Amino acid sequence: MISFIIFFFFAAVAVIFAAMVVLHRNPVVGALSLVASFFALAVMYVLLEAPFLAALQVIVYAGAIMVLFLFVIMLLNLQHQAEPHTRPVQQFLGYTSSAAFGLALIYYLAKFGVTKLPEGVFVADARTVGIRMFEAYIFPFEMVSILLLAAIVGALILSGRTGISSTQGSPSASVPSTKMPPATPASTHSEEVR
Amino acid sequence: MHGIDWVDVGLSGLKIAVVLGAMLNVTPIMVWVERRGSALIQDRPGPNRVGPFGLFQSFADALKFILKEDMLPAKANKVLYTIAPMFGLIPALTTIAVVPWGRPFLLPGGRLFEPIIANVNIGILLIFALASMGVYGIVMAGWASANKYSLLGGIRASAQMISYELSLTLAAVSVLMSAGSLSLVDVVWRQTGSFVLFNAIKLPAWNIFSPAMWIAFVVFFVSAFAETNRLPFDFAEADAELVAGYHTEYSSMKFALFFMSEYMAMATMSALITTLFLGGWDIPWYNEPPNALGFALSVLAFVAKVSVLLFVFVWVRWTVPRLKYDLLMKLGWKVFLPLAVINIVIVALFIAKRWI
């Protein structure tokens, strides 16, 4: 009975704050709402007797990823920017696609049922998750690592650090990376931060 | 559903009351220690008028906080500005719940009394999860104040916390590997007793004395300063550069809440360092009897270790100057992170060779 009340309370919290993420005009408030939503989701994991997953949910999503999001939003100082005007076509497409997705979700949940739980005892402690991840799912795990590594290398190249160093070797103006003089990124950066 | 065990509920309530009381009293005591300690280090008297040795100075400070005008900046986001100080306080108050602070013993009724509020098997993860929430209080305060210095403080805090949380967590992984458990109770039990180092010296089996943990201890200890925003890593407030950083616009009790959460976070961090590396409640070269006496002695040992660490926090603050911000980031990402990862490999080697 108590877990029932807790479930509905935190389900409501998760849904309300998830709606806030989409509906609120201010990106910082949106990001903070997402944190609250993730936190409520972590409570769901506790109710499913998977406290390990709950802790990971909070550490990884609410604690690490969202702090980075906030960092970027605050660094770009987005709150002073006027919301770009949206065209009616964009609004129409946005509303219809999200409504279609919502209807599909409700249809499949109603069709397959939300009351069916997997059989057997559900174990999700650190040991079980670790053994599963490094035995049965070792290949996807390694693939994700490679994907992350590629993303890091890509971010480093895009951030222009290699571009600037390459211009020192070749003074030709036809190289795309030399289009931006090295002084420009520094000056725009300091202006954004103010 | 089985019935409610009222004795258990009562004991839990008692434990919560004791720990919360201790945590809330950390702030006034530490403010006094900080002010007198800084005076001692800078060769001046410090506050010595109110009460013996100026001990009641904290009461005067608290009274002043309550009586000051509570100001709200005109352009501030009112909701976030108000909840930010509370948000900082929650992790500081809750994380201590999973730290064991004494040796368990049997009560007269045959009931086992465990001096820990919540003995959960994911203890350390819970601490990191809740501690990572603490940064939102600072970030929210910095952003909601609508002040450029506050905003800079908030941005710095988020970057710094992310960087040092990684090395902090990875340094703790070494300890958890040797204990083979995520529960802090197991971590402490693993450190009771003694071992012989290099066939020569008999030492308590604390993690700090194990050669596999030396790097992890240094990384964890220094990262703890960054995580609690204390000098030499207090870039979120950096009073020489940012006025007072994220709490520039705060006054009265809202400011006092930031103040309190900083000292409580220090106390929690000291308790965590004690538990992970300094043997928790274990008394060196002494086998605590499993009764009320052993319990009392072990609690005293725990409090003594935490107090020493808290004093080290003060000592370092008034001795070491603030780093440059780029040095802080370099230290975090290019020194501590690789060192913490290397230490995990070292601990794995030690475990494989059965040296620990």
More confident residue, B124 or A165: B124
Query: A77 vs chain B: nearest CA distance in angstroms?
Result: 9
In contact, B341 and B323? CB cutoff 8 Å: no
Stretch 13-72 of chain A: residues touching chain B, C-beta under 8 Å: 26, 28-29, 32, 35, 39, 42, 51-52, 54-56, 58-59, 62-64, 67-68, 70-71
Task: Identify the pLDDT of residue B333.
Answer: 86
Task: Identify the pLDDT of residue A171.
Answer: 43
Task: Identify the pLDDT of residue A173.
Answer: 41
Is B174 within the bounds of a domain?
A: yes
Residue A176, pLDDT above cutoff 50? no
End-to-end Cα, chain A, rounded Å: 53
Task: Identify the pLDDT of residue B31.
Answer: 86
DSSP labels, B220-263: HHHHHHHHTT-TTS-TTT-TTTSTTGGGTT--HHHHHHHHHHHH
Please tell me the pTM assigned to this model: 0.80
Is B269 within the bounds of a domain?
A: yes
Q: Is B155–A126 a contact, with Cβ atoms under 8 angstroms apart?
A: no
Is A145 within the bounds of a domain?
A: yes
Strands (E), A28-140: none
- Number of helices (H), then strands (E), belonging to chain B: the values are 12, 4
Task: Identify the pLDDT of residue A118.
Answer: 63
Q: Is B158–A125 a contact, with Cβ atoms under 8 angstroms apart?
A: no
Task: Identify the pLDDT of residue A184.
Answer: 40
Is B279 within the bounds of a domain?
A: yes
Residue A124, pLDDT above cutoff 80? no
Residue A52, pLDDT above cutoff 70? yes
Q: Is A29–B77 a contact, with Cβ atoms under 8 angstroms apart?
A: yes
Residue B15: name the closest of B93, B101, B129, B92 by CA: B101
B110-146 residues labelled b (16+ CB within 10 A) or e (exposed)? eeebebbbeebbbbbbbbbbbbbbbbbbbbbbbbbbe
Task: Identify the pLDDT of residue A149.
Answer: 94
Q: Is B129–A63 a contact, with Cβ atoms under 8 angstroms apart?
A: yes
Task: Identify the pLDDT of residue A161.
Answer: 60
Is A22 within the bounds of a domain?
A: no
Domain that holds residue B82: 73-352
Number of domains in chain B: 1
Task: Band the pLDDT of A121: cuts 50, 70, 90.
Answer: low
Stretch 106-125 of chain A: residues touching chain B, C-beta under 8 Å: 125
- Nearest-angstrom CA–CA distance, B228 and A34: 25
Which of B130, B140, B155 lies at the smallest CB-CB distance from A32?
Answer: B140
Residue B173: name the closest of B328, B345, B329 by CA: B345
pLDDT in tens, chain B (356 residues): 466 778 888 888 888 888 888 888 888 888 888 888 888 888 888 787 777 887 888 888 888 888 888 788 777 778 888 888 888 888 888 888 888 888 888 877 777 788 888 888 888 888 888 888 888 888 888 888 878 888 888 888 878 888 888 888 888 888 888 888 888 888 888 888 777 777 777 777 788 877 778 888 888 998 888 888 777 777 767 666 777 777 777 877 888 888 888 888 888 889 989 988 888 888 887 777 777 788 888 888 889 999 999 989 888 888 888 877 788 888 888 888 899 899 899 888 888 887 76
Indicate the SS3 state at residue B322. coil
Task: Identify the pLDDT of residue A117.
Answer: 63
| Phi/psi of residue B106, nearest 5 degrees | -85, 125
Which of A26, A39, A55 lies at the smallest CB-CB distance from B122?
Answer: A55
Is the predicted ipTM greater than 0.90, yes or no?
A: no
Number of domains in chain A: 1
Task: Identify the pLDDT of residue A182.
Answer: 42
- Is cis: bond before B52, omega within 30 of 0? no
Query: A94 vs chain B: nearest CA distance in angstroms?
Result: 29
Please tell me which residue of chain B has the smallest CA distance to A67: B158
For residue A75, list chain B residues with Cβ-Cβ distance below 8 A.
Answer: 155
Is A176 within the bounds of a domain?
A: yes
User: B30 touching A, CB under 8 A?
Assistant: no
User: A133 touching B, CB under 8 A?
Assistant: no
End-to-end Cα, chain B, rounded Å: 43
Q: Is B125–A28 a contact, with Cβ atoms under 8 angstroms apart?
A: no
Is A41 within the bounds of a domain?
A: no
Domain that holds residue A153: 137-194
Task: Identify the pLDDT of residue B201.
Answer: 77
Residue B234: name the closest of B146, B328, B326, B310 by CA: B328
Is B53 within the bounds of a domain?
A: no
- Nearest-angstrom CA–CA distance, B260 and B85: 10
Is A6 within the bounds of a domain?
A: no
Is B65 within the bounds of a domain?
A: no
Q: How far is CA A139 from CA A124, A133, A134, A142, in A?
A: 20, 9, 8, 5
Please tell me which residue of chain A has the smallest CA distance to B137: A32
User: B158 touching A, CB under 8 A?
Assistant: yes
Residue A167, pLDDT above cutoff 80? no
